[in-house]
A and B are shown apart, each in its own frame.
Chain A
């Protein structure tokens, strides 16, 4: 349990920096990709900002538990294990969620694809961290 929490916390801190740093840079250098976010579907009064920024820790603790439970299935070098873990999570969890989101919400393909890639990169980074500190 302790290992799950510690590796989850470390991965959460790394994901926080990488995810929101990446988003900040993307908004700065590719503003055109974010025009679609001026959409009432997205919360605009700032009341959920804390929840938004906690996402890095929510996903890292969830993935940390998932890693601890199934890490024996991911074999090979550290990088390979990290990538495979990220791909497995993306196919099992992200793909169906993105599918239902696109089918039900008024959002664009670019938006959904970018969310999928964002989640995939997060899961790969988390997988690499877990493979290193909780092999």
Chain B
């Protein structure tokens, strides 16, 4: 009876059966957005993540998936498209003045990664919030650890401007138009804080 009661009362991270890990995201993490128009291609990057956030992994014996908590907030103003005009255009499209940050919330992983030098494919669920609209995505990651014990989480996901109720920029009455699809690549560098 006591066990039955405490299983409801104790939060999951205090459950002795659960395995918890903390990964601290380092400032060398980066994110790249690749897009195209009908006249050119562009790449916009945030080369240095300027905050230190923590991801908490929680595996309980009963669950197949690994619960993740933690998020990263990226300043839209930090995007650099290597062309001031393109940079300004992207920031305008992402409604930077109304929504200065985009957010990626990590929700789960399909398994607890082994963490070896060899990149391990793994899938995870994230919520991406851009311009105030939140969408859920299943992302294919590759996770590995280097000699300095840095954890590298590389992910890639196609998203559409329209997923976030954003209109891709169009010029000259639509004769020049940005394609709806964007490819988002990110590389999180993290340290295990057991």
Mark interface residues in A77-118 (1 if CB within 8 Å of B CB, else 0): 000000000000000000000000000000000000000000
Contact with B along A15-44 (1 / 0, CB 8 A): 000001001100100011011011110111
- Asked if A37 contacts B171 (CB within 8 A), the reply is yes
Minimum CB–CB distance from B166 to chain A (whole Å) comes to: 11
In the assembly, what is the distance between CA of A35 and CA of B176, in Å?
9
Give chain A's interface residues, CB within 8 Å of chain B: 20, 23-24, 27, 31-32, 34-35, 37-40, 42-46, 49, 52-53
Distance, CA A45 to CA B39, complexed state (A): 18
Q: Is the interface of B mostly helix, strand, loop or mixed?
A: mixed
The reply to whether A27 and B175 contact each other, CB–CB distance below 8 Å, is yes
Residues of B at the A interface (CB closer than 8 Å) are: 37-40, 42, 85-86, 88-89, 92-93, 167, 169-176
Q: Judging by beta carbons under 8 Å apart, are A44 and B169 in contact?
A: yes
Say whether B174 contacts A46, CB under 8 Å: yes
Would you mind naming 9 contact pairs between A and B with Cβ atoms under 8 Å apart? A27-B39, A34-B172, A34-B176, A35-B40, A38-B85, A43-B171, A45-B167, A45-B170, A52-B173
Determine whether the beta carbon of A42 is less than 8 Å from that of B172. Answer: yes
Docked pose: A46 CA to B42 CA in angstroms = 21
A52 & B172 in contact (Cβ 8 Å cutoff): yes
Known A27-B38, A27-B39, A32-B39; contact A46-B88, beta-carbon cutoff 8 A: no
B83: min CB distance to chain A, Å: 8
B85, chain A: closest CB distance, angstroms: 5
A39 to B171, CA, bound (A): 9
Name the A residues within 8 Å of B171 (CB-CB).
37-39, 42-44
- Expressed in whole angstroms, the minimum distance between the Cβ of B67 and any Cβ of chain A is 40
Bound together, the chains give a CA A38 to CA B169 distance in angstroms of: 8
